Amino acid sequence: MKRLLAVNAGSNTVTSFVVDGARLTRLQTVPSGGVFPVSLTAGHDRLFVLNAGGSGSVTGYRINASGRLAVLPGASRDLGLSNDVRPEFFSAPCQARSLALCGGDRLEAVARCSEAVIGAAGL
């Protein structure tokens, strides 16, 4: 089954869809775990959502066989960023077993935070 995952910054949610050819069917919409979700990365039945509002946060979810999302206990972290620095995913945590976030012109020192998130996700 093909799936599509999308962030909805206006409603602070994440939506999962089932893809059937050119047809999308909404499966589920869940809270993003923070304010203003801007990016996501998925792999190995895990999803990580990057929220850019406030001090920034990353929230982890498990993706079950039907494509539904469930928050991973302990897999949400505040990034402690200033509101003028918009974080972006730099590398996919499911590929590198580490999460690098880029804020502005410099790499934010949040990779260690991601190790705890990834550990909680069981990767």
pLDDT tens sequence across 33-70:
999 999 998 888 999 999 988 888 999 999 999 999 99
Q: Which of 38, 39, 59 is nearest to 114 (CA)?
A: 59
pLDDT of residue 96: 41
Asked if the model's pLDDT at residue 123 lies above 70, the reply is: no
pLDDT of residue 121: 47
pLDDT of residue 35: 92
Within 8 A by CB and 6+ apart from 27, the residues are 3, 15, 16, 17, 18, 66, 67, 68
pLDDT of residue 108: 40
Whether the Cβ atoms of residue 92 and residue 41 lie closer than 8 Å to each other: yes
**pTM listed for this prediction:** 0.72
Give the model confidence (pLDDT) of 65-111 as tens digits: 999 999 999 888 888 877 665 555 544 444 444 454 544 433 343 44
pLDDT of residue 85: 54
Q: What token pair was written down for 8?
A: 């909805």
pLDDT of residue 106: 36
How do 23-31 and 37-43 pair as beta strands?
A: unpaired
What are the residue ranges spanned by the domains of the chain?
2-121
Write down the residue that tokens 């949040």 correspond to. 110
Measured distance CA(99)–CA(97) in Å, rounded: 7
Q: Which of 38, 30, 36 is nearest to 14 (CA)?
A: 30
